[in-house]
Structure formats: structure tokens, C-alpha cells
Amino acid sequence: MSFSELGLSAKVQSAVASAGYTTPTPIQAEAIPHVLARRDVLGIAQTGTGKTAAFTLPMLTMLEEGRARARMPRTLILEPTRELAAQVEENFVKYGANHKLSVALLIGGVSFGDQDAKLTRGVDVLIATPGRLLDHFERGRLLLTGVELLVIDEADRMLDMGFIPDIERICKMVPFTRQTLFFTATMPPEIQRITEQFLHNPVKVEVARPASTASTITQKLVKAGRKDYEKRDVLRHLIRGAENLKNAIIFCNRKSEVATLYKSLQKHDFSVAALHGDMDQRARMQALASFRDGATQLLVASDVAARGLDIPDVSHVFNYDTPHHPEDYVHRIGRTGRAGRLGTAITIVTTEDMKALAAIEKLIGQAINWDGSPVSDEEASEARRERRGSREGGRGEAGRGRRGDAKGGDARRGEARPGGDRPARSAREDRPVRDDRPAREDRAPRGQPSPRSQQRSDASEEADLSHLPQFLLRPITFKSRQPAKS
């Protein structure tokens, strides 16, 4: 099948041919005709299968008729991250070369004024992250009553980032009669609920089993010690010994780990850049551009780079940290082996990662081969025992609870009576009596200053109190309590 058989306009077909594409991918071949027929579409496909063009190309064909109005976009595309939103804008620029359509990008880290200026002139295509879109709407700078087509891309990533409440709110602000395109790689129960709520009789386009990995990717597991320096040594050895390594993305679970690993690789003379969510927008785009252009060989990144980024020729992916969520594994390794190319994905596994690894293998429906000796069951069991022992030891005897011997309660209250009644003897009775306290007869009578307060008063007279306000230096008088009248 060719693009000419999908019903796209001549302008779009010309732009696609100029970009060097002749044959649509399976999801493009199945989704584009339904989009052009103005049906709601639920697209499920693994990452790297061309989902972006599956909605970009028919949108360009549909937008050839009509015109944009001020502050009322005709189409709306929601993306979970700034990088994905910027990438979709690049696709519109590339495929819309023969069109005179206006495109606006609403993402964080960019001036509100520049974005407001574009909205005021009117836009045909509005690409936005949910947070910045709602900011403009609440400022009264944006109206969504003219949206004819709504695209929710990378919906499972929206769920992971906590955007589902924002998505529900936005869906209620656009017209009920709009056309909705919903694309995701996995289908958790929450995503299923959203599709049933906001899609009207959708056409389900599923070109791969949810959460499946591409057959063009060679997956491997490598054992490492639990210490950070041991993992870094293993990673450097893998990078230096990798076959046909052109470039690689190295994924970490935490932003702080990204920064630490970046400095370590830089210290060992690797060509490396870093990318995580705490970086400002300019630094993020520069790091991504240098990696995409080949100026940098390695990119250390958090999961902000795991979804949808189109870097066509990534030869290797290294999971420095085994992902906590199995779906993230699918998206991470999907950065390689794209568009039919071969790729390699290597995951560094410690004894503490075996539970996460089991969840990954269950999700993808296959066992991943070990490169070298695997983590044995004895090592994994020993790691679990150590974790259990550290948790129990951290609680201490005093913090275990208040009931029973196992909770440490009897150690505080004394020995319990048979039958579980109150202790016969309070632990307070076993405490040594302090003999440094003055006897009752030696204490000062009620209403008169005690010897200790008198000592403090004498000491204050000797000290320099010139820095204190006068009202604090007034003498304190004690009034004797009058007997109550009968």
C-alpha cells in the first residue's frame, strides 16, 4: 500500500514524498482512512511505529478548508512533555511545507507574551502540554469552543505524570461534537475508563499487542553489584565493549542520578549530555539537539526522554537503573530499533531489581537473556533478607508498638498479669528516686520566689542587660492567694 491509496490530499502526498517516505506503517495505513472519515479513533501501537504521522497527515488534509479565528484554535493536540510537543510541531513544519497553516506551541519555559501573540492572530493547529494550556485558558487568552479535532497523544504517559484530571477538564471544555483521536502504547484500567467516557463509538486500531517490544531490538541483561561505583564500572565496560555502537541513550530512574552519572562519564572522557525535567527548556533542547545531530554520542536521561522522541538512528539503549514500572521499560527500549532498524537494549540488574525484572518479563510476555552470569536465586533471597533486616532493625525496640511482647510494650509497662490485664506493677515504680530535688519543707512557700529564681534574679543583676527593653526589667511581684470565703 502507498500513501496515495489513503485518501490524503495532493499537497500532503507531495510533502511525504519529499520527506523520503513511500510506504505507510501499519498504524498509519489503518488509522488515516478512519480519521479522514471523521471517526473517533483509539490507536494502540508500540512506540516507534509512526503514530505521530498517523494523525498529522490527515489533519493537514482536513485543515485545507476553513480559516482560523483569533484565540480559537481549530485543532488541539495534547502532549505530556515539552520535547514531544516540540517534535510534533516539527512534523507539522515538515509535512505542511505546501500549506499556509499557522501552528502554535504552548509549553512551559517559554514567554507567555510570545504565545499570546500567536493565539491573538489565530492558529489552525495548537500543540500544548496540559498545564500551560490551562494557564492560558484561566488567563482568558484562549477559547476552546472552536476545536474541531482533539488529539490526546501518549495517553499512558499522561497517566504516569498525573495529567489525567487535567485531560478530563480539557475534554469538557471542547465542543461535544468534536472528533477525538486517542493514541497510547499501553492500556491501563484508568486509560480504558477515559476512552469510554470521552470517545464516541471509536474505531480501535491495534497493530501490536499492548506493551509489546519490537522484534528488531536485541535485549540483554547484565549483572552488577549494588554499589553505585560498581554499576558505573559495569556501564563503562559495556559502552567500551559494545559492537557497532553509534550512539546511546542511558536511562536512570532519578534526576539526581542523571546528574551524577553525567559527571562521572564526562570525567572519564566520554562524549555525553544530560536531559531531565529539572533543566530549563533551553538546556533541554540544546542537549537533545546535540545528540540528534551527532555532536554528542551519549545522552544520560530520565524518563522524560522515554516517550515518543523521534531520534531515528539510536543504536543502543542502556538501562542504568531497572525501571520501577514495567511499562517504562517498553518505552525506554523503544528509542532504538525504530522504523525497521536494528537496535540493542541492555539493562543493568542488581540483586534488588529482581522483582522489577519479573514484572517486566511478565508484561512483555518473554524472558530476557542474560549476558554473562545471571543473578542467582540465593543472591536475590539474601538481598531480600538484608532489606527485611534493615527495616526491622531501623524501627528499634522502643518504636515497635504498644501491645504485647513482640511490640515492646511489656518492656515499658512491666510484666503483664495472666489473662492480659493491666500490669501488676508500673515501670514507674522501678525507676530510681532522685535525691537531688529539694525536700518539700525546703521549698519556698507559695507566693514567694524560690531559691532558684532568686539565684537567677541575682545573676541577672550582675549581667549587662542594657540591650533589653525596660518592660522586661520590671520586678515580678507575686500575690498571695486569698482564702475562699465560705
**Separation between Cα atoms, residue 250 and residue 266, nearest integer Å:** 13
Cβ-Cβ contacts under 8 Å for 380 (sequence gap 6 or more): 351, 354
pLDDT tens digits along 138-159: 999 999 999 999 999 988 888 8
pLDDT reported for residue 7? 93
**Separation between Cα atoms, residue 74 and residue 102, nearest integer Å:** 10
pLDDT tens digits along 108-126: 888 899 999 999 999 999 9
pLDDT tens digits along 402-417: 444 444 444 444 444 4
In 3D space, the residue among 95, 107, 141, 138 whose CA is nearest the CA of residue 122 turns out to be 141
Instruction: Say if 3-206 and 217-375 have the same CATH topology.
Output: yes
Q: What is the pLDDT along the chain (486 residues), one digit of tens a residue?
A: 789 899 999 999 999 999 888 899 889 999 999 999 999 999 988 766 788 999 999 999 999 988 888 999 999 999 998 888 988 999 999 999 999 899 999 998 888 999 999 999 999 999 999 999 999 999 999 999 999 999 999 888 888 888 999 999 999 999 999 999 999 877 888 899 999 999 999 999 988 666 678 888 999 999 999 889 999 999 999 999 998 899 999 999 999 999 999 999 999 999 999 998 888 878 888 998 899 899 999 999 998 777 757 777 899 999 999 998 888 898 889 889 877 789 999 999 999 899 999 999 998 889 999 999 998 888 777 777 776 776 666 555 444 444 444 444 444 444 444 444 444 444 443 444 444 444 444 455 555 555 555 555 454 445 566 667 777 777 777 766 666 565
164, burial (CB in 10 Å: exposed 0-12, middle 13-18, buried 19+): middle
Domain residues of the chain, as ranges?
3-206, 217-375
Task: Please answer whether residues 217 and 333 qualify as being in contact, where contact means their C-beta atoms are separated by less than 8 angstroms.
Answer: yes
Q: Does domain 3-206 have CATH number 3.20.20.70?
A: no
Q: Which residue type occupies 150?
A: L
Q: Which residue type occupies 382?
A: E
Task: Please answer whether residues 242 and 344 qualify as being in contact, where contact means their C-beta atoms are separated by less than 8 angstroms.
Answer: yes
pLDDT tens digits along 252-267: 999 999 999 999 999 9
CATH of domain 217-375: 3.40.50.300
In 3D space, the residue among 276, 184, 267 whose CA is nearest the CA of residue 229 turns out to be 267
* Cα atoms in the 13 Å half-sphere on the side-chain side of 377: 0
13, burial (CB in 10 Å: exposed 0-12, middle 13-18, buried 19+): middle
Buried/exposed code over 191-214 (b: 16+ C-beta within 10 A; e: otherwise): beebbeebbeebbebebbebbbbb
Q: 515580678: which residue's cell? A: 476
The three grid cell numbers given for residue 330, joined into one nine-digit string: 517498553
